[in-house]
Structure 1
Amino acid sequence: MKEVGIALPKSRGVGVGVVGAFLLCFIFYYFYGGYMTLALFAAILLLIFYYAQDLLLYHPDLPTNSRIFVPMPTMHNLPNITVNIKTTDADVTLHAFWISQPEERCKSVPTLLYFHGNAGNMGHRMQNVWGIYHNLHCNILMVEYRGYGLSTGVPTERGLCSDARAAIDYLHTRHDLDHSQLILFGRSLGGAVVIDVAADTVYGQKLMCTIVENTFTSIRDMAVELVHPSMKYIPNVLYKNKYCSLQKISKCSVPFLFISGLADNLVPPRMMRALYTKCGSEIKRTLEFPGGSHNDTWIVDGYYQAIAGFLAELQQQPSPLQKPPEKSNVWVELEHKIIDV
């Protein structure tokens, strides 16, 4: 599924609003003069910029009928059940697919939560999920953000991040998986959502690791990249959706894997390098694929094998409770200090 950059809004309501705003400015100019009209015009432009941002960022209806038809995992011979997840922040129901390994392995393998990009629905990612299922041999929970596919609600930054937490809470209600092996995976916009969760001191502790692919440092940085360099002078407070991943990732301590397609012509690979550099985790790795573009890095040779190698490395790492203490007998040292005194 192709992710979409910033595009012109197609909503008829926005067009009507713009025409109405200009008409209001004309009437205001007739009664109050130029300076007041200029101030009103500037305020209207700011309001349009602020409220049109959701239309510029979120594209749940591309391609057509993406809110109606969601391709099923059974179309790719993947065992699955459909689940509905209730969020705690609003009356929203998330549509999700639970794709599990055979029963004898389900409880011993990792479980990957899959968060997609800004366009279409989760069903458009089934080929990639098929590869994850058969190459990484893990359970998969595919989550559809609010306002996408068959999920209810309207997409917002706070809402999408709440959706990810609700998905983790849901997994902890299931008894057919190992809760200590939860993996968050996010591509593009999904990567920004995943970083927000990993930076959470409560939810970050519930994760085995986090994988982000071709994601960005912030919406403001993307506006500078895709619209015009002058966008950097717009105060951050005027951005309705911020997704300040570069600031959040320094707070992350969970192991991180950064996957970057060097042929990405939407999100510059330097943003992935910046995230890797700023990441606060002691265990962090980066994978760069020269032939990978924004949407199809997963088809490059060695993609799944590299991820499997990272997961194998983590599973060989001793947990904090398994690490031997630095001092074999602290009390002996304390006794010597008392004698010396």
Structure 2
Amino acid sequence: MYNILRALLYRLWVVSTFTLFGSFLIFWFYGFIVALVSLILGIIGILYNAQDLLLYYPNDPPDSRVFVLQPSTFKLPYESIKIKTKDGFKIHMFLILQANDSHRKPSMIFFHGNAGNMGQRLANVSGFYHKLNINVLLVEYRGYGLSEGSPSEQGLYIDAQSAFEYIMQRSDIDHSQIIVFGRSLGGAVAIDLASRPEYRDRIWALIVENTFTSIPDMARVILKWKCLSWLPMFCHKNKYMSLSKMRAVRCATLVVCGSADALVPPSMGRALLVRCGAAASRLAALPGAHDDTWTCAEYYPELQRFLALLPPHAPPHALSAVHVV
């Protein structure tokens, strides 16, 4: 908790100083009561907006906004793409296509976690490319890497929708085999996309990894403040209510988690699976894994087994149930 407060004060010292100075001036001209009210409102405003600083880390490590590792580093063929989102921001993406018959292979839309940029996920993507034999579209959210704008919950949802619409316009992609993948925060983005009526029947499979039920739930886990249970929902700037959205998911779903994850409790992954509205769903709880599930020996075999259960070129309603907990 001390480290969190120290980080907030360091990053918000200008705003905090202005709030204190403004409250002093109000006290001087209008008295104690008005000054106290203004100070309380200022602190509430700071804490509300500071939630973004606790969730989004696009500058970690510090050069993440100016340097994005290229897929060629891993000998992957790729296109560097920039598209304009529905609300006018340009976001950066990498499209990595299989060298042969890319239009016959499944394609994954990859949504990364809350820190760094998509280039830092290329080692994992290389595994997807070579071991799963799929195409991969990596999406760099607004405010991350070389994308414009600043991150926000609704903004990330729009980025995901824009990326999906882009890949559905490609003639070298099989539109009936679209996999939506998200890790950590990206899992919440993927679940939102897969739960929307205009997209859910167009998605072949959903894979979420080390993701949470909601941000309010994560706040209670990390901070361990009992008072957070009484905090009204409108006090949370970022909510990412994945648990409630899982009821609307219709495509085959794989939930991956580490059995020893100290940050996101594995129980959240199980809760997501239980709430899932898909007829075909599966849990892969990797023994002893933390937030490094993708480095485990059983990681890619688990994904291979899941994808092998899905009939090729089949709409979601044609899938057989493979519910495993």
Give TM-score, length-normalised by structure 1: 0.87
Greater CA drift, 311-320 or 252-261: 311-320
Give per-residue Cα distances to partners, 1:84-108, cap 9 Å, x unaligned: 111012x2111111101123x2111
CA distance in structure 2 between the aligned counterparts of 1:11 and 1:87, rounded to whole angstroms: 33
Greater CA drift, 230-239 or 209-218: 230-239
Asked whether the 8 Å contact 1:215–1:272 carries over to 2, the reply is yes
Asked whether the 8 Å contact 1:186–1:211 carries over to 2, the reply is yes
Larger Rg: 1
- Residues 260/320 of structure 1: CA separation in 2 closer, same or farther (3 Å cut): closer
Say if 2:269 is the partner of 1:272: yes
Say if 2:99 is the partner of 1:102: yes
CA distance in structure 2 between the aligned counterparts of 1:304 and 1:320, rounded to whole angstroms: 23
Give per-residue Cα distances to partners, 1:8-50, cap 9 Å, x unaligned: 5468672111111112222333444443333222211210111
In the alignment, what sits opposite 2:323? Answer: none
| Structure 2 counterpart of 1:95, one-letter code | H
For structure 1, the 5+ residue unaligned runs are 324-341
In the alignment, what sits opposite 1:176? Answer: 172
CA distance in structure 2 between the aligned counterparts of 1:21 and 1:320, rounded to whole angstroms: 53
In the alignment, what sits opposite 2:69? Answer: 71
In the alignment, what sits opposite 1:61? Answer: 59
| Structure 2 counterpart of 1:147, one-letter code | G
Say if 2:281 is the partner of 1:287: no
CA distance in structure 2 between the aligned counterparts of 1:214 and 1:30, rounded to whole angstroms: 52
Say if 2:119 is the partner of 1:118: no
Q: Determine what percentage of the aligned residue pairs are the same residue.
A: 43
In the alignment, what sits opposite 2:250? Answer: 253
In the alignment, what sits opposite 1:92? Answer: 89
CA distance in structure 2 between the aligned counterparts of 1:140 and 1:32, rounded to whole angstroms: 60
Q: Offset at 1:150?
A: 0.6
| Structure 2 counterpart of 1:136, one-letter code | L
Runs of 4+ with >4 A deviation: 5-13, 316-323
Matching residue within 211, 217, 233 for 1:221: 217
Q: Offset at 1:316?
A: 6.6
Asked whether the 8 Å contact 1:291–1:300 carries over to 2, the reply is no
Say if 2:53 is the partner of 1:36: no
Give TM-score, length-normalised by structure 2: 0.92
Asked whether the 8 Å contact 1:291–1:297 carries over to 2, the reply is no
CA distance in structure 2 between the aligned counterparts of 1:272 and 1:279, rounded to whole angstroms: 11
Q: Secondary structure at the match of 1:152?
A: coil
Q: Secondary structure at the match of 1:142?
A: strand
| Structure 1 counterpart of 2:219, one-letter code | A
Q: Offset at 1:231?
A: 2.2
CA distance in structure 2 between the aligned counterparts of 1:6 and 1:129, rounded to whole angstroms: 32
Q: Secondary structure at the match of 1:161?
A: helix
Matching residue within 173, 181, 194 for 1:198: 194
Give the aligned length.
Answer: 316
Q: Secondary structure at the match of 1:107?
A: helix
| Structure 2 counterpart of 1:16, one-letter code | V
Q: Secondary structure at the match of 1:179?
A: coil
Give per-residue Cα distances to partners, 1:256-290, cap 9 Å, x unaligned: 11001112111111111111111111111100001
For structure 2, the 5+ residue unaligned runs are 320-325
Asked whether the 8 Å contact 2:68–2:146 carries over to 1, the reply is yes
Aligned alpha-carbon RMSD (Å) = 2.1
CA distance in structure 2 between the aligned counterparts of 1:278 and 1:44, rounded to whole angstroms: 39
| Structure 2 counterpart of 1:249, one-letter code | M
| Structure 2 counterpart of 1:243, one-letter code | Y
CA distance in structure 2 between the aligned counterparts of 1:211 and 1:237, rounded to whole angstroms: 29
- Residues 8/165 of structure 1: CA separation in 2 closer, same or farther (3 Å cut): farther
CA distance in structure 1 between the aligned counterparts of 2:150 and 2:306, rounded to whole angstroms: 35
Asked whether the 8 Å contact 1:9–1:52 carries over to 2, the reply is no
